[in-house]
Amino acid sequence: MTYTSPAVVIDNGSYTTKAGFSSDDLPSLVFNSNYIRNEQTQQVIIGDEEMESHNDQEVMKLLDNGLVYDFDNLEHNWQYVYNNIDNHNSIDPKEFPLVVTEQPWNTTKNKMKACQIAFENLEVPIFSLVKNPLAQLYRCGKSTGLVIDIGSSVVSVTPILDGVIQSKCAFHSKYAGDFLNLHVLNYLESKTPVSNLLPAQFSNASTSFKQYYMSHNILQEFKNLSFNYQIKNYQLYSHDYIRVSDQPSFLDYLSDPTLNKLPHIQIPVPTLDKPESQGLTNLVYLSLKNLENTLLPQNNDGVSTNRYHRFIDIFKNLLSNVLITGGTSAANGLPDSVINNLKLLTQTYFPNYPFSYSIQQIRPNNTENAEIWDRQFGAWLGACNLASMLNDTDEKSNSAKIALDNWFVTKADYEELGEDLVAEKFK
C-alpha cells in the first residue's frame, strides 16, 4: 500500500522540537520543547514568544534523560505541530502518517503511551517510532557506523552494525550541553551578578522562567560566541561589557566531568560499572570494549583465525564511519577533537589491532550549511528519508511494503494486536 500524503515527522529533543512534512528539505517548525501551564486557566502555552508573555508562570520540561516523561503534555506538543505545520495553518492528523523519533533506551511503557496518543487521541492512520542514531546514520547512506550524539541534555555513543543497534554496547550520560551551561554560568557569575545577565523585563519572572531563559538564551548565546569566535568581551543587556578573555576550555568538561568542581553541585565519582557517570571519551571506550567482548569472546581454545579477521573487518568498517552529531557538536573544533581522542584511545587500549589509521568521520559531501543542518536536524532528516518510502510508487523497488513491514504500525493492526505488536515492531 502506497500513501499519497507525506508523513508528519516530529523529533522531540530536550532543547527544541523539530517538525515538518517528510517531503520538506528542512523542518518547517523548530520550537522550544519546554512549555508553561497557566495555573489559573490550565492552558498549555508553547512557543518562545508566548512563554515570554507568561513569564510569571512556571516553566515545565517535556523530557528528562532524553526521554519523554510528561505524556499528558506530549499530546499538546504534537497538537501544536498539527496546528502550525502548514505555514502556521492546521491539518487533520487523521489524513497523514506520523513518524516520531526516539532514543535507543526508550522503554516499552513509553512506546505504548506514544502509540496511544497517536492512534487513540490523534487518530493517525499509521505510526512509527524511529531510533535517533539509526535515522542519523541512514541519513548519511550508511548502515554501519559509530554514532556519537552530543546534544543538549544527553551525550550518547551508539555502535550500529548492518542496521542493527548494538544495545549492550550503547551508552549515554548527562554530561552534554546543559552540563556545560552550568560551567558557563558559574564562570559568568564570577564576572557579574546573575541579575545583570537577564533583561530587566524579567526581573519579576518566576524562578523557573529565569532559569529557562538563562539557559536557552544567554548561556546558549555565550557558548555559540565563545566556542566558535573566541570572544574577549561579552555584551550584557544593559549594553555594558564584561571581559571574558580568561575563559577556560569548557569543551574539555565533556570528556572529563570532574575537571572543574561546581559550587553546590556534587558530581558522582566516575566508575566503569556505571557508564552514566562517565564523560564522552570513556563512553566511547566502554562502547568499543563491550563490542570487543561481544564479537571476540575468549575461551580456553582461544579465538579462531577466521573469527579474528572478521572482528578486525567489522571494527575497521565501524571506525571508518564515525558520525558526530547533535547541537553541541557544532562547536568549532569539537568533532576533530573527538576524532583525535578516538585515535589516541584505540592506540592506547587496543594496541593489538590496526584500528587508529582507519578512523574517519562521516561528513556531508556538499556545503558547510549542510553540515550544520545535519548536526542540528540529522535525526529529523533521517526519519524523513525512512518516511518517504511510504510514498514510493515504484512497484519494482517495493519500498512502501518494506517500510510498512519493518517500521510502521497501522491503526487497524494496533486496534487488533495492541501492545504485543508495538513491542515487537518498535523493539
What residue ranges in 307-384 does DSSP mark as E strands? 322-325
- What is the mean predicted confidence (pLDDT) over 401-415? 83
Is residue 47 a contact partner of residue 421, using CB atoms and an 8 Å limit?
A: no
Confidence bin at 396 (pLDDT 50/70/90): low
DSSP state of 160: E
Overall pTM surpassing 0.75 (yes/no): yes
Give tens-digit pLDDT for 252-297: 999 999 999 998 888 888 998 999 999 999 999 999 999 999 888 7
pLDDT at 282: 95
Buried b (16+ CB within 10 A) or exposed e, 55-71: bebebebbbeebbbeee
List the domains of the chain with CATH numbers: 8-139+379-425 (3.30.420.40), 145-175+270-370 (3.30.420.40), 177-255 (no CATH)
Confidence bin at 394 (pLDDT 50/70/90): low
- What is the mean predicted confidence (pLDDT) over 303-311? 78
Confidence bin at 397 (pLDDT 50/70/90): low
pLDDT at 303: 64
The three-state secondary structure class of 220 is helix
